[in-house]
């Protein structure tokens, strides 16, 4: 009875957002293919001006989409609460003359008083990595993998990055040094009693790691089948990340929620 009372007290004292706002960001490669950003402009350029409502950005290359203007406006997004206020200020993307590769949602409907239809807003970074920085022609940031196990690529020069987008409309050849490689397709099926099935397009050898929302590994095993069953029934309620590590070091991350 005391344990039940303690849980009730904790559920009152701990806000829902405190429990819900821990996340591991998807990589830039994964973010670019997400349904939330899939049709957005992706450009390489530099910050040329900063003010209280946003930044002016000079486009050097358009990697995906169309934009005829050389200088575009990126407005601040709307701040959100998540274990404290997270700023969506465009100025936090960098300082003047910083070079970025960035995914940009076009403003079709105003979400704030300062936005202008047809311009762009700072992309949402909650669970995503929508921008990378470029210094001395080298691309830095979470290109692929997850924050606790990022993919490190010494050949991630901007030239290779641009060539990958020109060839594949994604950054797969930067990550894997293989211009003909396409990310493996998959789908997730929800079974009964917090069991899931991941169906992959091939049966290549891979290591399966399961992490909880705090980044702790709770299970690890090798898999060669193209159908993988995940049983979370014996784990605590919450968010889990299924990390598939392939022999070529490509990493695919899938989020599952146990209710």
Q: Which domains does the chain have, with CATH numbers?
A: 28-176 (no CATH), 186-258 (2.60.40.3080)
Model pLDDT, residue 145: 66
pLDDT in tens, 109-162: 998 999 999 999 999 888 888 999 999 888 888 887 666 555 555 557 898 889
pLDDT over 70 (residue 10): no
Q: What is the mean pLDDT of the segment spanning 211-234?
A: 80
- 9: pLDDT confidence band, cut at 50, 70 and 90? very low
So what's the pLDDT on residue 6? 36
Q: CA 168, CA 202: separation in Å to the nearest integer?
A: 20
Ranking 11-15, 106-110, 218-222 by mean pLDDT, the lowest is 11-15
CA-only gyration radius of the chain, Å: 20
pLDDT at 165 over 80: yes
Predicted TM-score of the model (pTM): 0.61
Identify the pLDDT of residue 103.
97
CB burial of 149-164 (b: ≥16 within 10 Å; e: otherwise) equals eebebeebbbebbbeb
Residue 11's pLDDT is 36
Q: Which residues contact 249 (CB under 8 A, 6 or more apart)?
A: 151, 176
Mean pLDDT calculated for residue range 199-211: 78
| DSSP string covering 96-163 | TT-EEEEEE-B-SS-SSTT--TTSEEPPP-TT---EEEEETTEEES--SEETTEE---TT-BHHHHHH
pLDDT of residue 36: 86
């Amino acid at each position: 009875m005391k344990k039940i009372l303690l849980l009730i007290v904790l559920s009152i004292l701990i806000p829902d957002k405190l429990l819900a706002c821990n996340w591991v960001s998807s990589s830039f490669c994964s973010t670019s293919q997400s349904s939330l950003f899939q049709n957005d402009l992706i450009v390489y350029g530099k910050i040329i001006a900063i003010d209280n409502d946003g930044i002016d950005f000079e486009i050097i290359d358009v990697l995906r989409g169309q934009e005829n203007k050389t200088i575009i406006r990126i407005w601040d997004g709307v701040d959100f609460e998540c274990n404290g206020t997270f700023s969506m200020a465009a100025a936090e993307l960098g300082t003047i003359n910083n070079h970025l590769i960035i995914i940009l949602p076009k403003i079709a409907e105003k979400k704030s008083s300062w936005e202008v239809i047809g311009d762009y807003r700072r992309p949402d970074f909650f669970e995503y990595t929508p921008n990378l920085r470029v210094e001395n022609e080298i691309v830095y940031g979470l290109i692929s993998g997850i924050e606790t196990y990022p993919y490190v690529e010494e050949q991630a020069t901007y030239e290779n990055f641009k060539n990958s987008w020109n060839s594949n409309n994604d950054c797969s050849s930067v990550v894997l040094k293989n211009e003909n490689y396409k990310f493996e397709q998959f789908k997730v099926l929800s079974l009964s009693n917090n069991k899931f099935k991941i169906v992959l397009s091939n049966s290549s050898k891979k290591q399966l790691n399961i992490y909880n929302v705090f980044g702790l590994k709770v299970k690890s095993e090798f898999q060669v089948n193209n159908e993988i069953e995940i049983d979370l029934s014996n784990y605590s309620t919450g968010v889990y990340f299924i990390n598939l590590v392939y022999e070529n070091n490509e990493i695919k991350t899938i989020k599952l929620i146990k209710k």
